[in-house]
């Protein structure tokens, strides 16, 4: 029982095909359906001029502490054996006498006993902790004027690291 298409059905399909084909290929109809957007030459020039006229951002007069271990505000649960500080620029630190440099440049609100050496790399220094970090105490470390960078910029004012150690031995 195959059904044959009748003339009206075929006629409707042919009419739809012609109508849709006419819309797609007719330039007048196609321009309405798919308009082309062209940028005005003045607008392109204005964007370039605006970019050129924008003053460049001036570099910061300070260098910054980028990260620390432990992080600022951290409550560390494992015991802390090393404090690490990473800065935004290459350090220019003379820590040949580590103990004296630590005493002059690592300012603490509560005493931590550091090892006698400062481990330096380009933008980072590490301090080994001998003992002195007690459970539940909050420690704040600020940096003295001996923490310098090669560009000669001073450290950003108010730079400090505050942390607590809930898993440290003692107290």
Instruction: Render pLDDT for 6-55 as a digit per residue (tens, 0 to 9).
Output: 667 777 777 776 766 665 566 666 666 666 766 665 555 556 566 666 66
pLDDT at 2 over 80: no
pLDDT value for 39: 60
Q: What is the pLDDT at residue 6?
A: 61
Q: What is the CATH number of domain 65-165?
A: 2.60.40.1220
- Residue 87 backbone dihedrals phi, psi, to 5 degrees: -115, 170
* CB 153 within 8 Å of CB 65: no
Q: Which tens digits make up the pLDDT trace of 62-108?
A: 999 999 999 999 998 888 889 999 999 999 988 888 899 999 999 99
- 3-state SS class at 168: coil
Q: How far apart are CA 92 and CA 149, in angstroms?
A: 5
Mean pLDDT of the chain: 81
Query: How far is 152 from 154, CA to CA, in rounded Å?
Result: 7
Return the bridge partners of 161, or none. Answer: 141
Record the pTM.
Answer: 0.64
* Tokens describing residue 93: 């630190």
- Residue 65 confidence (pLDDT): 95
pLDDT of 150 reads 93
Residue found under tokens 């003045």: 42
At 134 the pLDDT is: 85
**What order do you get walking across the sheet with 113-120 strand by strand?**
65-69, 82-87, 124-131, 113-120
Kindly indicate the confidence band of residue 164, based on its pLDDT and cuts at 50, 70 and 90: very high
Give the pLDDT of residue 69: 94
The helix (run of H) or strand (run of E) holding residue 23 is helix 7-25
According to DSSP, the β-strands at 106-108 and 113-120 are: unpaired
Query: How many CB atoms neighbour CB 62 within 10 A?
Result: 14
* pLDDT of 83: 93
CA atoms 77, 166, 108, 62: torsion sign: positive
- pLDDT for 52 equals 67
pLDDT band at 57; cut points 50, 70, 90 = confident
Type and span of the H or E element at 46: helix 41-53
């Amino acid at each position: 029982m195959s059904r044959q298409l009748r003339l009206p059905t075929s006629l409707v399909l042919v009419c739809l095909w012609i109508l849709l084909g006419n819309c797609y290929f007719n330039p007048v109809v196609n321009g309405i359906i798919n308009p082309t957007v062209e940028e005005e030459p003045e607008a392109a020039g204005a964007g370039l001029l605006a970019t050129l006229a924008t003053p460049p951002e001036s570099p910061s007069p300070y260098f910054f502490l980028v990260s620390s271990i432990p992080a600022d505000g951290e409550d560390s649960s494992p015991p802390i054996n090393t404090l690490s500080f990473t800065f935004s620029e290459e350090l220019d630190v003379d820590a040949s006498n580590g103990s004296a440099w630590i005493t002059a440049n690592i300012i603490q609100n509560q005493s931590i006993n550091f090892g006698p050496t400062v481990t330096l790399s380009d933008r980072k220094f590490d301090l080994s902790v001998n003992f002195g970090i007690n459970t539940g105490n909050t420690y704040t470390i600020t940096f003295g004027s001996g923490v310098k960078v090669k560009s000669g910029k001073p450290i950003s004012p108010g730079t400090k690291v505050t942390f607590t150690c809930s898993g440290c031995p003692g107290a």
